[in-house]
């Protein structure tokens, strides 16, 4: 590096202003450019004298990955510089502090924890969809836009699973930030998106309790302990944390990636539907596991070389989709509901980690006050919920991977489309009414969903023996 | 500026046509042929004519060991390859033979070097198949980017600032940034005789503006090529390997 950054330095049209931050591996500068009005920052790696391999390669990784990421959860790249003169990356400047400041004020009220957790998980899911695993998630690396979205920064340890892993050969020790890194990262595995979900779990734990689940280890041997030693259950620290939140946190912190959430979208789904989370021993737990349990785990884990890892980020997301099934529970639609039921069972054979959101829509009147009780006086909502659960009986999904939602809307298609959008559904499965006068007058719900939904839609239609429909 | 890098066409018309059709949809400004237009396959004349017409319009073409063998009767090729070259010689006209004989061994274009085999001794036709066989290419020149063929399998090597060579795995279809902080050696897979277990034809796109290399794979009608190969009386093993990508 022949040029050192300093205020007033001009390079490739960028002019450096004040230094905003000085970290261990890089400095951050305020920069301007005659052609851009966006506020920007420049990150310049601090290269030690001689050959500083890890810093250089980390910066190469960042230069390789960041320009490939798009969207609101990633800072936009405005320019890059080469090592020949001065290495740098210029990105848009996200106003405000990182979540590091915010985490200092933990524990936070539960409602706030959920809101932030969901926003962080959204950002993580967004980069996962773009084939990138961050692998160094911590409060310092989340910035929040004024509009609320989280922005993920610092991709120096990240992995793009369709590009070579430049870091693989650079390090012989595990990389990452000790309080947050997943057990498989300790084992030097860098290809599992569920490592990021573990770090999210550790961060939500910290937000909710004010403590880090594994303290602040300084030595690798202390990091290794998380392969067998479980953290203090959050409710033991702060009893007003609901059991379902503890369930979410401890599930994310499961040692074996196979027992965690299988995608960030699934975690977001639970954060959005807390009442539907099926509690397990994780949620009820009031103290750490017994010495004997921990000892047995230690015997099993101490010589473990690796956990089973997914073949790729895309394959993992594909394995664990969220399927929305819209079911019509009316008596005349029974054969159709049955056909949908068989179809969903077939789909689950190929996607063992899928979760299924069963949805039924109560069509409300456009005007006036809607009756929420039917003629017999039963609460319609409850009746539909029972009907939906009865329909789904026999869909064999362990854990809490089956949920039920009753929506109310004047327009059933809009209700399904909106719900799919909000819960990040990957695939909608629904039936199409056969030929009927109703459809002619009201239009087809499935046609509208197919046309307007942001995800894939499968429409099930029964072959009808009746007369062909007039078009 | 986008360059398409094609190599080891090996007289496979069907594969060559499929690659040309694919790259015609991808805003290519210039073609670079890294050698071995002929050999192994049943359509040498047609392939030379195509390449020649591209060269007339500004394309670059290098000489490969099979192209050389058309004019030199020595025994450096394996027996099957030599048999096909002897068959090929009788099917080429004087202009086509002249074209092959005048091809250059290397071409330097700014910071980029094109060559058929290993750059350290191009006429020795050495294979770049590992980090250790990639090293000499970086040592003999100061080009930041080196591209060769000859191996019939895609591979990408980098040489960092301390001279360490790394073999980097890149998925086909994924643009790989050729970071300015390193030097790069791209081994381009074969158009007409892929040998990595896939029957798909290979080529690569070098985007100069974005500084990215993308390996591409293209399906083609290998059955027809294999049939033509048998009808021409070429060795049976050559027809079979096209169907298996070996």
For B178-234, write each residue's pLDDT tens digit.
998 899 999 999 999 999 999 999 999 999 999 999 999 999 999 999 999 999 999
What was the pLDDT predicted at A153?
Answer: 95
Residues of B with Cβ-Cβ distance to A164 under 8 angstroms: 156, 166, 168-170, 176
A157 and A277 belong to one structural domain: yes
What was the pLDDT predicted at A376?
Answer: 54
- In a domain, residue A416? The reply is yes
For B38-57, write each residue's pLDDT tens digit.
999 999 999 999 999 999 99
- In a domain, residue A3? The reply is no
What was the pLDDT predicted at A471?
Answer: 42
| Domain finish residue from A282, A312, A342 | A312
A132 and A273 belong to one structural domain: yes
Return d(Cα B103, Cα B6) in angstroms, integer: 15
What was the pLDDT predicted at A398?
Answer: 66
A241 and A366 belong to one structural domain: no
Return d(Cα A110, Cα A209) in angstroms, integer: 10
What's the CATH code of the domain at A418?
A: 3.40.50.620
- CA atoms within 13 A of residue B40's CA, in its CB half-sphere: 27
Residues of B with Cβ-Cβ distance to A53 under 8 angstroms: 162
| Domain finish residue from A92, A113, A141 | A92
| Domain finish residue from A284, A312, A340 | A312
Burial class (CB in 10 A: 0-12, 13-18, 19+), A149: middle
Contact B168 A164 (CB under 8 A): yes
- In a domain, residue A468? The reply is no
Quick check: A55 contacting B, CB < 8 Å? no
Residues of A with Cβ-Cβ distance to B170 under 8 angstroms: 162-164
- Minimal CA separation from B119 to chain A, in Å: 24
Burial class (CB in 10 A: 0-12, 13-18, 19+), A54: middle
Contact A63 B177 (CB under 8 A): yes
- In a domain, residue A86? The reply is yes
- In a domain, residue A357? The reply is yes
A124 and A230 belong to one structural domain: yes
- Give me the residues of chain A with pLDDT under 50, please: 377, 467-471
Average pLDDT, chain B: 95
Return d(Cα B42, Cα B46) in angstroms, integer: 10
Q: Which helix (H) or strand (E) holds A429?
A: strand A427-431
CB B186 within 8 A of CB B115: no
A169 and A294 belong to one structural domain: yes
Q: Total structural domains in chain A?
A: 3
What's the CATH code of the domain at A57?
A: 3.30.200.20
The residue among B4 and A98 whose pLDDT is bigger is B4
- Minimal CA separation from B180 to chain A, in Å: 6
Percent of chain B with pLDDT over 70: 100
A245 and A380 belong to one structural domain: no
What was the pLDDT predicted at A439?
Answer: 60
Average pLDDT, chain A: 89
Size of interface A-B (CB pairs under 8 A): 39
- In a domain, residue A5? The reply is no
Quick check: A44 contacting B, CB < 8 Å? no
- In a domain, residue A4? The reply is no
What was the pLDDT predicted at A52?
Answer: 73
If you measure CA to CA, which chain A residue comes closest to B162? A51
Return d(Cα A448, Cα A451) in angstroms, integer: 5
Spatial CA neighbour of B65 closest among B152, B125, B126: B125
- In a domain, residue A470? The reply is no
ipTM: 0.80
Domain annotation for chain B: domains and CATH numbers: 2-244 (3.60.21.10)
Q: Which domain holds residue A292?
A: 99-312
What was the pLDDT predicted at A316?
Answer: 86
A209 and A356 belong to one structural domain: no
A105 and A88 belong to one structural domain: no
E strands, A183-305, in order: none
What was the pLDDT predicted at A442?
Answer: 55
A161 and A20 belong to one structural domain: no
A86 and A164 belong to one structural domain: no
Given pLDDT bands bounded at 50, 70 and 90, which one contains residue B73? confident
A201 and A242 belong to one structural domain: yes
Return d(Cα B240, Cα B246) in angstroms, integer: 9
Quick check: A67 contacting B, CB < 8 Å? yes
CB B120 within 8 A of CB B139: yes
Burial class (CB in 10 A: 0-12, 13-18, 19+), A349: exposed
What's the CATH code of the domain at A194?
A: 1.10.510.10
């Amino acid at each position: 590096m022949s040029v050192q950054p300093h205020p007033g330095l001009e390079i490739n049209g960028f002019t450096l202003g004040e230094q905003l931050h000085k970290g261990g591996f890089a400095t951050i500068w305020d920069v301007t450019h005659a052609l851009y009005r966006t506020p920007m920052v420049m990150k310049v790696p601090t290269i030690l004298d001689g050959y500083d391999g890890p810093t250089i390669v980390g910066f190469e990784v960042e230069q390789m990955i960041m320009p490939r990421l798009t969207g609101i959860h990633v800072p936009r790249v405005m320019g890059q510089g080469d090592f020949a003169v001065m290495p740098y990356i210029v990105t848009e400047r996200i106003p405000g502090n990182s979540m590091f400041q915010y985490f200092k004020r933990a524990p936070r009220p539960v409602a706030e924890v959920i809101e932030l957790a969901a926003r962080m998980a959204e950002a993580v899911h967004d980069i996962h969809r773009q084939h990138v695993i961050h692998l160094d998630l911590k409060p310092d690396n989340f910035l929040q836009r004024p509009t609320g979205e989280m922005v993920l920064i610092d991709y120096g340890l990240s992995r793009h699973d369709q590009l070579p892993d430049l870091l693989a050969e650079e390090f012989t020790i595990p990389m990452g930030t000790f309080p947050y890194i997943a057990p498989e990262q300790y084992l030097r595995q860098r290809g599992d998106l569920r490592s990021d979900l573990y770090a999210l779990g550790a961060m939500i734990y910290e937000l909710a309790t004010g403590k880090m689940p594994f303290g602040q280890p300084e030595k690798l041997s202390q990091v290794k302990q998380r392969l067998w030693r479980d953290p203090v259950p959050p409710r033991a620290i702060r009893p007003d944390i609901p059991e379902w939140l503890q369930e979410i946190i401890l599930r994310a912190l499961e040692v074996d990636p196979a027992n965690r959430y299988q995608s960030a979208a699934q975690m977001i789904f639970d954060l959005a539907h807390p009442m539907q989370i099926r509690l397990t021993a994780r949620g009820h737990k009031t103290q750490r596991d017994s010495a004997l349990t921990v000892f047995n785990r230690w015997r099993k884990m101490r010589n473990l070389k690796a956990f089973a890892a997914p073949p790729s980020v895309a394959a993992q997301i594909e394995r664990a989709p969220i399927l929305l099934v819209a079911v019509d529970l009316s008596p005349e639609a029974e054969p159709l509901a049955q056909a949908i039921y068989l179809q969903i069972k077939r789909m689950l054979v190929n996607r063992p980690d899928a979760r299924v959101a069963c949805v039924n829509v109560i069509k409300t009147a456009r005007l006036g006050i809607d009756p929420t009780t039917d003629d017999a006086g039963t609460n319609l909502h409850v009746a539909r919920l029972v009907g939906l659960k009865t329909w789904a009986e026999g869909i064999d999904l362990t854990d809490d991977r089956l949920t039920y939602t009753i929506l109310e809307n004047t327009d059933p298609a809009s209700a399904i489309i909106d719900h799919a959008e909000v819960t990040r559904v990957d695939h909608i499965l629904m039936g199409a009414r056969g030929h009927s006068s109703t459809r002619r007058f009201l239009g087809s719900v499935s046609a509208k969903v197919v046309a307007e939904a942001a995800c894939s839609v499968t429409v099930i239609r029964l072959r009808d023996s009746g007369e062909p429909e007039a078009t | 500026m986008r360059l398409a890098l094609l190599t080891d066409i090996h007289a496979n018309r069907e594969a060559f046509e499929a690659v040309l059709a694919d790259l015609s949809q991808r805003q290519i400004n210039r073609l670079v042929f890294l050698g071995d237009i002929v050999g192994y396959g049943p359509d040498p004349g047609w392939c030379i004519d195509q390449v020649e017409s591209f060269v007339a319009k500004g394309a670059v073409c290098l000489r490969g060991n099979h192209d050389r063998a058309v004019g030199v009767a020595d025994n450096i090729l394996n027996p099957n390859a030599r048999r096909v070259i002897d068959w090929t010689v009788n099917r080429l006209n004087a202009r086509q033979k002249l074209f092959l004989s005048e091809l250059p061994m290397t071409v330097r274009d700014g910071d980029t070097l094109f060559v058929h085999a290993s750059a350290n001794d191009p006429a020795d036709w050495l294979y770049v198949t590992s980090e250790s066989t990639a090293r000499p290419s970086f040592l003999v020149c100061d080009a930041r980017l080196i591209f060769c063929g000859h191996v019939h399998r895609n591979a990408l090597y980098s040489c960092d600032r301390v001279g360490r060579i790394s073999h980097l795995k890149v998925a086909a279809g994924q643009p790989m940034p050729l970071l300015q902080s390193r030097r790069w050696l791209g081994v381009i897979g074969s158009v007409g005789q892929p040998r990595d277990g896939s029957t798909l034809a290979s080529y690569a796109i070098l985007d100069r503006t974005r500084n990215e290399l993308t390996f591409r794979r293209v399906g083609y009608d290998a059955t027809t090529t294999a049939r033509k190969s048998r009808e021409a009386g070429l060795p049976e093993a050559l027809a079979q390997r096209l169907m298996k990508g070996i």
